[in-house]
């Protein structure tokens, strides 16, 4: 899986083909289901009308100018795309606010965690941040990822927050199963964190500096991600 892939079709013009994670939304006027893509495009198709708004899908699709557009809302339009292959559902979880990450003697490490993909506003991706990660697992087991934020002294004034990513492996592996590396994508709903800090600044906006912490294979100490910025409304 990859979060984003795009290529121009040989016909030229605006024609394109993409394989990317798409956030599904609904036109509030006629109820048309459409997708907000990581490339900033709006897309729609007949098959997408059976999908659930507020969810994420990994979709492969193409568009050429002759497919045309469909009006979305009062002043937008979505490309009428053709889907290729079967959609893949992307799991989503809520950020667990005011909860400590589980304390275990031997944490399960990730093989890799990519920097999150997210929008500058709360609307475009439904206030979700997308994470792609790799981990080791055996056949018969399942992986679960959760995100925890426990406020620390100084968070409200320094605007620097730590979020812990926890990986749990459950289930009994099949006899003789070998360890393999798997890759997955998860969408994390950050709206509770935004609500916690909105209105806590005298300025019109406030920037929260967020560091994600997790255990990584081959590292003894917990790893810090690069700093990410969430902008919230002030007073």
Q: Which distant-in-sequence residues (6+ apart) come within 8 Å of 10 by Cβ?
A: none
How many CA within 13 A on the CB side of residue 78?
22
For residue 201, the tally of other CB atoms under 10 A from its CB is 16
Kindly give the residue spans of alpha helices, DSSP state H, lying in the chain: 155-158, 191-197
Tokens for 211, please give them: 């560091």
For the chain, domains (ranges, CATH) are 6-86 (2.40.50), 91-233 (2.60.40.3220)
pLDDT tens per residue across span 178-206: 999 999 999 999 999 999 999 877 778 89
Tokens for 139, please give them: 């056949």
Among the listed residues 88, 81, 80, the one whose alpha carbon sits nearest the alpha carbon of residue 51? 88
Contact 77, 34 (CB under 8 A): no
pLDDT in tens, the chain (235 residues): 556 655 666 555 689 999 999 999 999 888 899 999 999 999 999 999 999 999 999 999 999 999 999 999 888 999 999 999 999 999 999 999 999 999 999 999 999 999 999 998 999 999 999 999 999 999 999 999 999 999 999 888 899 999 999 999 999 999 999 999 999 999 999 999 999 999 877 778 899 999 999 999 999 999 999 999 999 988 7
Among the listed residues 141, 109, 119, 88, the one whose alpha carbon sits nearest the alpha carbon of residue 188? 119
**Cα–Cα distances in Å, from 23 out to 34, 80, 128?**
8, 16, 9
Say which residue the tokens 């002294």 belong to: 153
């Amino acid at each position: 899986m990859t979060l984003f892939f795009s290529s121009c079709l040989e016909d030229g013009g605006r024609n394109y083909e993409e394989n990317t994670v798409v956030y599904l939304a609904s036109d509030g006027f006629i109820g048309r289901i459409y997708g907000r893509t990581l490339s900033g495009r709006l897309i729609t198709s007949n098959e997408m009308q059976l999908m659930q708004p507020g969810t994420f899908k990994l979709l492969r699709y193409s568009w050429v100018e002759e497919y045309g557009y469909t009006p979305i809302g009062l002043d937008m339009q979505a490309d009428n795309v053709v889907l290729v292959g079967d959609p893949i559902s992307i799991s989503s979880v809520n950020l667990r606010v005011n909860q400590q990450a589980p304390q275990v003697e031997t944490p399960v490490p990730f093989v890799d965690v990519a920097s999150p993909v997210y929008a500058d506003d709360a609307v475009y991706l439904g206030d979700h941040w997308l994470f792609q990660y790799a981990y080791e697992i055996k056949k018969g087991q399942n992986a679960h990822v959760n995100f925890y934020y426990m406020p620390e002294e100084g968070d409200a004034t320094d605007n620097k927050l730590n979020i812990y990513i926890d990986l749990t492996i459950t289930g009994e592996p099949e006899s003789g199963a070998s360890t393999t590396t798997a890759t997955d994508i998860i969408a994390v709903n950050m709206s509770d964190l935004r609500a916690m800090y909105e209105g806590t600044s005298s300025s019109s906006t406030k920037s929260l500096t967020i560091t994600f912490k997790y255990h990584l294979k081959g590292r003894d100490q917990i790893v810090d991600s690069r700093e990410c910025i969430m902008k919230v409304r002030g007073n």
